[in-house]
Structure 1
């Protein structure tokens, strides 16, 4: 059980870290912060509830069952974060959002304080790592603490289910998919975790033993519910970013042939060699370096080569745009050959801009790289060996 719980916690914390990644100069986004906080707190709840963690916390503090108020307090904080996230997700005037979020924090802060106080007043000297809720269901102080944390979590889940049902009819696309995942997770939490906990505790109150509901069924249901809810919150924000990185990786690789031909001409600073650098950052560096190389090769661009290649492409039946790109690819290949061989540039160089440098984004460079693959490969020299001509 410990391994499963820790793996689930790791997945949630990793998702939170990916969502939270942003440029240093980017402003704080309350929705992103609240999403990351909710997902991360869900992961911490898993860690705190693991029997191994409970035993470790009890040993370190020297207080039997001290892990219980820690776990219940963390669960209450997670419930609060869900409500705060819903507040920011719904949107509205900033001041209204701030007041609503503050009310949630104050209410659940008081709940956590009450949980700690009730634990301090209770007589719970027998350590229970798996069945504390049912073992102490009739113990004064502990009984109220257990009921209090369950009610606090139930309130958050009820609000979340209500809002998801209401919003699901108003949105489309990834946001609707995310809301449905949240709703499924919330319902699973309500039935698989809360209902089983309530039933097991009430059974103890009436002299019956249904502890297996609390110790066997509730933990995996809570884990799956938290994963589904976290996936629902993260999906609308994380999936577009993942797809962007995936497309950037594809463009980065497609620019490989072009970069291998022109890298000798680039004097742009080399990118930091960080293994964790995202594909989008790598693509940006490659674009900058290729543009720098094309600028360095500009004195070698020959309009005669371009026009000859354009006419040949038109005779082959290519359209105007395809003929232009093919002609520019031939001219770039010829310029790279001249520069790499140390030849003199043509007396009159081309003053026209390349299509690849006119369009925004990497699409023009990718198209140039694709066409350039069909042009005879030229040798290259060391980086920064192109002579610079002015005039």
Structure 2
């Protein structure tokens, strides 16, 4: 049981760490709201990880031994679970957004409800007689004990209220949005339903069974913990997916375009005078791609005096004669012109007397798309030996 709970805690902690360290490449909201959303998401997921960590039997035994108080881990875990429930509500409030004062008011209301709940859990445990240490079946063992009984019901009701509210908000909001946000909300809803049915219903049933003189402890000790772990993981995926996936896609595109620019950079990089980027291992693919774009544009500008329109026109005519489209013919013609300019520059020939006024397609479009097309058109030609032996360094 401890292994399953520890695994869930580790996955949640990793999710929080990745989310907190992600590059800020998707700024859609004002920075203050974005920071509040990031912090509240990380806090909620981290609290979930801490709850699972504290609820493991091995951890409970260690906490009890350390404090010298039998079952001290119970109010600690239940208090943290209530704080986790509150953090889920705060996360949804920040995620939904709205006027800053309204968001702040709703956050304070959530705290005002759950802070007394946590205090009540601690007070009830202090007043109760719980001298027998129970690591796996405390809820059912003390289901009829004054003080402990109320504490158990109180933490379950607090968690249920938060999960039900979260499920309702997800359903309502999910009808208004589309795309990744909607997918994330439905994942959160699935996790909430799984928590309600698999964890809370099992706990309630086992406790009520004890009240009526029956024994359904297995629901509390064997069914509820793994279901709670699965529900928390699904909810975390729902919270993290809409925030991390766009950044992950941007990273992948940056890596792809950076690699696809290699044929062009290997030819023109030796004439670039653009400043070298800082060699940091944590530099994002988008930053590396930006540096390479700047350097290539600088190199093409330096090669402009060597551009020969006659080479371009001959290559364009040959491409059209082969049945190429107008756009393909233009790219192949530009690649031939750039290749010829590179050979002249590498041989240190004098620039052409008549400077071409032609503008490359890559300089007419924004982003890396035009450069990538030019690089792919150049990809089929041989790299001059001068280029291979030069001082080109990959950005």
TM-score (norm 2): 0.88
The separation in 2 between residues aligned to 1:77 and 1:156, in whole angstroms, is 10
Q: Pick from 189, 192, 209 the counterpart of residue 215 of structure 2.
A: 209
Q: Pick from 292, 295, 303 the counterpart of residue 297 of structure 1.
A: 303
Deviation at 1:226, TM superposition (A): 0.9
Q: Deviations over 1:203-223 (max 9, x none)?
A: 223333221111100001101
CA gap of 1:127–1:376, structure 2 versus 1, over 3 A, is: same
- Taking the TM superposition and a 5 Å limit, the aligned residue runs for 1:22-33 are 22-23=23-24, 27-28=31-32, 29=34, 30-33=36-39
The unaligned stretches of length 5 or more in structure 1 are 386-391
Q: Pick from 166, 173, 181 the counterpart of residue 167 of structure 1.
A: 173
Q: Deviations over 1:257-307 (max 9, x none)?
A: 222223323343444444444332332232233223323333333333223
CA gap of 1:215–1:22, structure 2 versus 1, over 3 A, is: same
CA gap of 1:67–1:169, structure 2 versus 1, over 3 A, is: same
Contact map agreement 1:265 1:383 (CA 8 A) in 2: no
Q: CA RMSD of the aligned region, Å?
A: 2.6
Q: Pick from 61, 67, 70 the counterpart of residue 67 of structure 2.
A: 61
SS at match of 2:132: coil
The separation in 2 between residues aligned to 1:4 and 1:263, in whole angstroms, is 53
**Residue 292 of structure 2 corresponds to which residue in structure 1?**
286
The separation in 2 between residues aligned to 1:58 and 1:285, in whole angstroms, is 56
Contact map agreement 1:267 1:384 (CA 8 A) in 2: no
**Residue 118 of structure 1 corresponds to which residue in structure 2?**
124
Deviation at 1:72, TM superposition (A): 1.4
Aligned residues: 385
- Taking the TM superposition and a 5 Å limit, the aligned residue runs for 1:32-51 are 32-51=38-57
The unaligned stretches of length 5 or more in structure 2 are none
**Residue 9 of structure 2 corresponds to which residue in structure 1?**
9
Q: Deviations over 1:203-258 (max 9, x none)?
A: 22333322111110000110111111122222233222222222222222211222
TM-score (norm 1): 0.89
Q: Deviations over 1:325-376 (max 9, x none)?
A: 2122112222222233333333333343321122111101110111011223
Matched, 1:104 2:120: no
CA gap of 1:291–1:62, structure 2 versus 1, over 3 A, is: farther
- Taking the TM superposition and a 5 Å limit, the aligned residue runs for 1:1-391 are 1-20=1-20, 21-23=22-24, 27-28=31-32, 29=34, 30-379=36-385, 380=387, 381-383=389-391
Contact map agreement 1:186 1:229 (CA 8 A) in 2: yes
Contact map agreement 1:266 1:289 (CA 8 A) in 2: yes
SS at match of 2:59: helix
SS at match of 2:31: coil
Q: Deviations over 1:164-208 (max 9, x none)?
A: 233333333333322222222111111110111112122223333
Contact map agreement 1:266 1:383 (CA 8 A) in 2: no
The separation in 2 between residues aligned to 1:240 and 1:15, in whole angstroms, is 16
Contact map agreement 2:121 2:154 (CA 8 A) in 1: yes
The separation in 2 between residues aligned to 1:166 and 1:3, in whole angstroms, is 36
The separation in 1 between residues aligned to 2:317 and 2:203, in whole angstroms, is 79
Q: Deviations over 1:20-63 (max 9, x none)?
A: 32449982413333333322322222222222332333344343
Contact map agreement 1:267 1:383 (CA 8 A) in 2: no
Q: Which deviates more, 152-161 or 332-341? A: 332-341
Q: Which deviates more, 166-175 or 16-25? A: 16-25
The separation in 1 between residues aligned to 2:218 and 2:234, in whole angstroms, is 24
CA gap of 1:347–1:3, structure 2 versus 1, over 3 A, is: farther
